[in-house]
């Protein structure tokens, strides 16, 4: 049996008639950047996220960077972000000229706690970028309270957690703004790069909209130096179609996650991901911590099962941050995770049989 890690072609075929129709409409309209498709997508996305404003962007990395710029983060400022994440949530801080300050994550949730952030706060700290990693919401209520107490801005990186919701509220709505990636493999993905920023702060939304469009809302307005990071009309049209399917795709992800939990819970060599509030995890990825990880991956590969590592190297130990001279003792959890994590296949176009097949393979590898 083959178990692909992702199957974007299968996703396209499942909704092909609608997607083709939407694409044709845009192609015939002659309007390919911004315009009606983008406006209606933004309105619908904002509504589903439960916020007043959504600003379509070229990608989430730009969204995080523009959020820092709009929140006036300057060289000399410090911004705290998890040591364990995709590179974007750190590199945007460095690109801003600010100092990236890493906080280690929790070994069970993979997310950063308010306590770990608090230990890194100095008089120079100006903002926090919290990441809702793998689809699980971070402890955003406690992080927000900490930000309020220290007068810090809070940016939520929601790139892996579309429509997650905890007792603190919907993802992306607790901080000053939330940033989403629509990279094709995300729970809501375009057919190329795309992203979005959401906020209830009208002034912030306007600033981001201008920053992403050469400093203006109209063609010849350049109030300040901006950039070009706009959402394409074709991508917006695709995203609008897919928006109608995300909740059922997420439900399927959760069903498969439940199967993994049920069938692998007794494998002592495997640590399952933390899962408490059901709505607060949308299972973008199903990441376990596994003993003998490389051997396990090789065994699964022989059985036709694709796995990936998210991530092979924790951010403080990346060559890009070698100049900070961190050692594994500085971030012990992240250092351990980079040796143990493995992402099992979990996407809505798999079947229960395939998930059970993966579980049987894991169990037989460990000989349980
Ligand atoms: C946590 C996180 N932040 C940011 C990004 C950046 O998204 P984009 O590729 O749209 O720039 C990603 C994408 O993988 C991500 O996973």
325: which 2 tokens?
């001279």
Handedness of CA 66, 35, 10, 50 (dihedral sign): positive
Centre of ligand 1 from the C-alpha of residue 83, in Å: 15
pLDDT digits (tens, 9 = 90+) for 67-106: 999 999 999 999 999 999 999 999 999 999 999 999 999 9
Residue 368: is its pLDDT beyond 90?
Answer: no
- Mean pLDDT score, 12-23: 98
Q: 242 Cβ partners below 8 Å, 6+ apart?
A: 15, 188, 189
Centre of ligand 1 from the C-alpha of residue 194, in Å: 10
CB 3 within 8 A of CB 306: yes
CB 88 within 8 A of CB 157: yes
Among residues 41, 216, 72, which one has the least CA distance to residue 153?
Answer: 72
- The preferred substitution site among 68, 159, 162, 193 for testing ligand 1, maximizing ligand atoms within 8 Å of CB, is 159
pLDDT digits (tens, 9 = 90+) for 183-232: 999 999 999 999 999 999 999 999 999 999 999 999 899 999 999 999 99
Atom of ligand 1 nearest to the CA of 59: 10
CATH of domain 10-243: 3.40.640.10
Atom of ligand 1 nearest to the CA of 133: 1
What's the confidence (pLDDT) of residue 278?
Answer: 87
Atom of ligand 1 nearest to the CA of 62: 11
Sequence ranges of the domains in the chain: 10-243, 246-366
Distances (CA, A) of 49 to 35, 125, 158, 179: 21, 29, 11, 11
- Calpha distance 81→72 (Å, rounded): 17
* Host H or E run for residue 261: helix 246-264
Per-residue H/E/C for 85-144: CCCHHHHHHHHCCCEEEEECCCCCCCCCCHHHHHCCCCCCEEEEEEECHHHECCCHHHHH
Centre of ligand 1 from the C-alpha of residue 69, in Å: 18
Residue 41: is its pLDDT beyond 80?
Answer: yes
CB atoms within 10 A of CB 313: 15
- The preferred substitution site among 59, 60, 68, 155 for testing ligand 1, maximizing ligand atoms within 8 Å of CB, is 60
Centre of ligand 1 from the C-alpha of residue 48, in Å: 20
* Host H or E run for residue 195: strand 195-199
CATH of domain 246-366: 3.90.1150.10
CB atoms within 10 A of CB 83: 26
The dihedral formed by the CA atoms of 163, 194, 53 and 145, expressed in degrees to the nearest 10: 60
Residues lining ligand 1, CB < 6 A?
59-61, 85-86, 88-89, 131, 157, 159-160, 181, 183, 193, 195
66: which 2 tokens?
């523009």
- Phi and psi of 279, rounded to 5°? -75, -15
The DSSP result for 315-357, as a single string, is GGGSGGGGGG---GGGSHHHHHHHHHEEEEP--TTS-HHHHHH
Among residues 328, 302, 298, 305, which one has the least CA distance to residue 316?
Answer: 328
User: Whose alpha carbon is nearest atom 8 of ligand 1?
Assistant: 60
- Mean pLDDT score, 42-53: 98
User: Whose alpha carbon is nearest atom 14 of ligand 1?
Assistant: 86
Centre of ligand 1 from the C-alpha of residue 22, in Å: 26
Residue 155: is its pLDDT beyond 80?
Answer: yes
- The preferred substitution site among 64, 88, 343 for testing ligand 1, maximizing ligand atoms within 8 Å of CB, is 88
- Mean pLDDT score, 235-239: 98
Centre of ligand 1 from the C-alpha of residue 178, in Å: 12
46 pLDDT band, cuts 50/70/90, is very high
């Amino acid at each position: 049996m083959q178990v692909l890690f992702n199957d974007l072609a299968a996703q396209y075929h499942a909704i092909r008639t609608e997607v083709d129709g939407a694409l044709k409409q845009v192609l015939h309209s002659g309007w390919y950047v911004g315009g009606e498709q983008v406006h209606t997508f933004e309105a619908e996305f904002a509504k589903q996220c439960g916020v007043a404003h959504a600003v379509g962007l070229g990608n989430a990395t730009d969204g995080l960077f523009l959020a820092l710029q709009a929140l006036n983060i300057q060289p000399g400022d410090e911004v705290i972000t998890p040591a364990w994440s995709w590179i974007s949530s750190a590199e945007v801080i460095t690109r801003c000229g600010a100092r990236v300050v890493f906080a280690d994550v929790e070994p069970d949730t993979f997310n950063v706690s308010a306590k770990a952030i608090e230990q890194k706060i100095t008089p120079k700290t100006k903002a926090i970028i919290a990441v809702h990693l793998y689809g699980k919401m971070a402890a955003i209520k406690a992080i927000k309270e900490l930000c309020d107490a220290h007068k810090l801005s809070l940016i939520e990186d929601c790139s892996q957690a579309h429509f997650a919701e905890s007792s603190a509220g919907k993802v992306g709505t607790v901080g000053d703004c939330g940033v989403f990636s629509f990279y094709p493999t995300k729970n809501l993905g375009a057919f190329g790069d795309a992203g979005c920023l959401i906020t209830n702060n009208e002034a912030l939304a306007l600033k981001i909209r201008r920053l992403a469009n050469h400093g203006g809302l109209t063609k010849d307005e350049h109030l300040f130096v901006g950039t070009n990071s706009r959402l394409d009309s074709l991508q917006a049209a695709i995203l609008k179609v897919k928006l109608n399917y995300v909740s059922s795709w997420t439900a399927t992800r959760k069903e498969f996650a439940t199967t993994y939990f049920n069938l692998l819970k007794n494998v002592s060599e495997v640590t399952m991901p933390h899962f408490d509030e059901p709505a607060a995890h949308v299972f973008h990825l199903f990441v376990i911590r596994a003993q003998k990880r490389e051997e396990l991956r090789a065994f699964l590969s022989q059985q036709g099962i694709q796995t990936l590592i998210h991530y092979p190297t924790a951010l403080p130990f990346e060559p890009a941050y070698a100049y900070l001279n961190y050692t594994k003792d500085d971030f012990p959890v992240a250092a351990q995770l980079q040796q143990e994590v493995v992402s099992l296949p979990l996407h809505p176009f798999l079947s229960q049989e395939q998930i059970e097949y993966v579980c049987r393979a894991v169990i037989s590898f460990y000989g349980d």
